[in-house]
Amino acid sequence: MIKRTLFFGNPAYLSTRNEQLVVNFPEEGKAEKTIPIEDLGYIVLEDPQITITNGLLRKLVENKTAVITCNQQHLPCSMLQPLVGHTEQTERMRYQLNASIPLKKNLWQQTVMAKIENQANHFLIRGKNALRLKRYAKEVKSGDLDNQEALAAAFYFQNLFNINGFSRNQKGVAPNNLLNYGYAILRAVTARALVSSGLLPSFGIFHSNKYNAFCLADDVMEPYRPFVDALVFDIVESGCQIEDLNQSIKADLLMIPAIDVIIDGKQSPLMNAMSRTTASLFECFEGSRRKLLYPEFKSSLETFIR
């Protein structure tokens, strides 16, 4: 089942009644709205004048709904997660924490190869030359000691958008702002799936910054980034204003969890595919599986490209 994503960009009062999310607005004349909590996957709270009851927060957490809050720049900055995401959580975390260095290096090699392959296939769909990216993917070694991931990313973003001098920089020119927003949503999707699989988002297989609470999420989301890039590319090519994140652009980017991807030869919503990826990651930690399950960026994905 595809879970819904709700975005609140104006003042609102959020509460619960009869297993429903109840939305009331301070403006006169706006009718009360209700949505079944079981249908919700993500809630994005942007306006600082949103009030939410503790009873609703509890029900959302029990439903494994990710509650995402935004900062003054309107970018997602935090996410509410359940303390218990899986019935075997302690055992699963033990497997994760006891993972050997050779295993983590192998898993990172698989992750980087999958990411660069997806970047190359995105290039092919756009009619761009992907030979250099294909070569980078083949040259990835255990642990990516030669940093092919960074070399590929630099080349990829220098040549993806039809914008002279564009480079990927969080504080750079547009459409970096769109990529920042899209990646933040993707990060929340990844963290939610990891918690549901009984894993700790903080302990990565490669990322290890002590100030980063989502190291594993940042690892696992890498091969999924080109799907966000594809959505941003189409927004840019549409010719709309991209200097500011307006409601229309945000609505497009908030569809990321529902984007159709190809995983294990079958089409699946991205949020469901992410759950399969995190489940395969646990199996690798456990020793019952050797290969991570990542989506493949294929031409059939033109179905979601406008």
- Could you tell me which residue, 142 or 303, shows the higher pLDDT? 142
| Per-residue confidence band for 306, with pLDDT thresholds at 50, 70 and 90 | very low
Kindly state whether residues 74 and 55 are assigned to the same domain: yes
Kindly state whether residues 10 and 148 are assigned to the same domain: no
Kindly state whether residues 161 and 188 are assigned to the same domain: yes
Kindly state whether residues 69 and 122 are assigned to the same domain: no
Kindly state whether residues 100 and 246 are assigned to the same domain: yes
Q: What is the DSSP string of the chain?
A: -PPEEEEE-S-EEEEEETTEEEEE-SSTTPPPEEEEGGGEEEEEE--TTEEE-HHHHHHHHHTT-EEEEE-TTS-EEEEE--S--STTHHHHHHHHHT--HHHHHHHHHHHHHHHHHHHHHHHHHTT---HHHHHHHHT--GGGTT-HHHHHHHHHHHHHSS-TT----TTSSTTHHHHHHHHHHHHHHHHHHHHHTT--TTS-SS---TT-TTHHHHHHTGGGHHHHHHHHHHHHHTT---SS--HHHHHHHTTGGG-EEEETTEEEEHHHHHHHHHHHHHHHHHTS-SS----B--GGGGGT--
pLDDT, residue 214, reads: 92
* pLDDT, tens only, 183-238: 999 999 999 999 999 999 999 999 999 888 899 999 999 999 999 999 999 999 99
Q: Span 134-163, mean pLDDT?
A: 97
Q: What CATH code is carried by the domain that includes residue 196?
A: 1.20.120.920
pLDDT at 89 over 50: yes
- Mark which of 52, 80, 108 sits at the end of a domain: 80
Kindly state whether residues 141 and 214 are assigned to the same domain: yes
Torsion angle (degrees, nearest 10) of CA 290, 198, 80, 68: 30
**What is the pTM for the complete model shown?**
0.90
Measured in residues, the chain has a length of 306
Kindly state whether residues 118 and 183 are assigned to the same domain: yes
Kindly state whether residues 58 and 105 are assigned to the same domain: no
283 is in an annotated binding site: no
Kindly state whether residues 278 and 190 are assigned to the same domain: yes
Total domains in the fold of the chain: 2
Kindly state whether residues 264 and 197 are assigned to the same domain: yes
- Mark which of 80, 104, 134 sits at the end of a domain: 80
Kindly state whether residues 40 and 132 are assigned to the same domain: no
Distance CA 285, CA 300 (A): 32
| Per-residue confidence band for 175, with pLDDT thresholds at 50, 70 and 90 | very high
- Mark which of 80, 115, 131 sits at the end of a domain: 80
Average of per-residue pLDDT values in the chain: 93
Q: Span 244-258, mean pLDDT?
A: 94
pLDDT at 1 over 50: yes
222 is in an annotated binding site: yes
pLDDT at 280 over 90: yes
149 is in an annotated binding site: yes
Q: What CATH code is carried by the domain that includes residue 15?
A: 3.100.10.20
* pLDDT, tens only, 94-115: 999 999 999 999 999 999 999 9
Domain that holds residue 241: 89-303
Kindly state whether residues 155 and 51 are assigned to the same domain: no
